[in-house]
Amino acid sequence: MTTHPLSEDTRHKLLEAAQAVAQNAYVPYSDYRVGAALLGTNGIIYTGCNVENAAYPATICAERTALVKAVSEGQKEFIAIAVVTQNGGSPCGLCRQMLFEFAPGLQVITADQDLQVTIDAPLNELLPHGFGPSSLE
């Protein structure tokens, strides 16, 4: 598993992109805006926000929105993701699992709305013993 060190400039661009896209979140029930910016190995940043639904299981998180957007555009290898919330909350278990499928060593950076970083760690530390494609061999 190759790690890709992030420059401070790249890290800041990811955080700013996540902060900006959080403003597009559709959150009439929780009022908890989340923005995510996922960096592909191709250098493109894929963004996503959370979209709630009155039928709560139909809600989609920002991290999964960014991931599905990237995959739908042909990108399946990732370096890092920045997630911005009002209080620096971390990705939920479902998001961690979805991201693990493609990038167990993904650098995960979470921050609050003022871009104060709360987590900066590889995904496999946030999801130890994760279940991935190799688990099916």
| pLDDT band at residue 1 using 50, 70 and 90 as cut-offs | very low
The average pLDDT across 16-36 equals 98
* Antiparallel, parallel or unpaired: β 45-49 and 78-85: unpaired
Is 32 a residue whose pLDDT tops 50? yes
Beta-bridge partners for 60:
51
First to last CA, the chain: 18
Q: For residue range 91-126, list pLDDT tens digits in order.
A: 999 999 999 999 999 999 999 999 999 999 999 999
Provide φ and ψ at 97, rounded to 5°. -65, -45
Is 3 a residue whose pLDDT tops 70? no
How much of the chain, in percent, has pLDDT values that exceed 70?
97
Q: Does residue 63 carry a catalytic annotation?
A: yes
Rounded to 5 degrees, what angle do the CA atoms 109, 96, 90 make?
A: 45
Give dist(CA 124, CA 77) in Å, integer: 15
DSSP symbol at 51: B
Query: Which pLDDT score is estimated for 4?
Result: 67
The average pLDDT across 58-69 equals 97
Tokens of 66: 């960014």
CATH no. for 8-136: 3.40.140.10
Which of 8, 16, 63, 125 is flagged as catalytic? Answer: 63
Residue-averaged pLDDT of the chain? 95
Query: Which pLDDT score is estimated for 5?
Result: 81
Give the pTM: 0.94
Is 2 a residue whose pLDDT tops 50? no
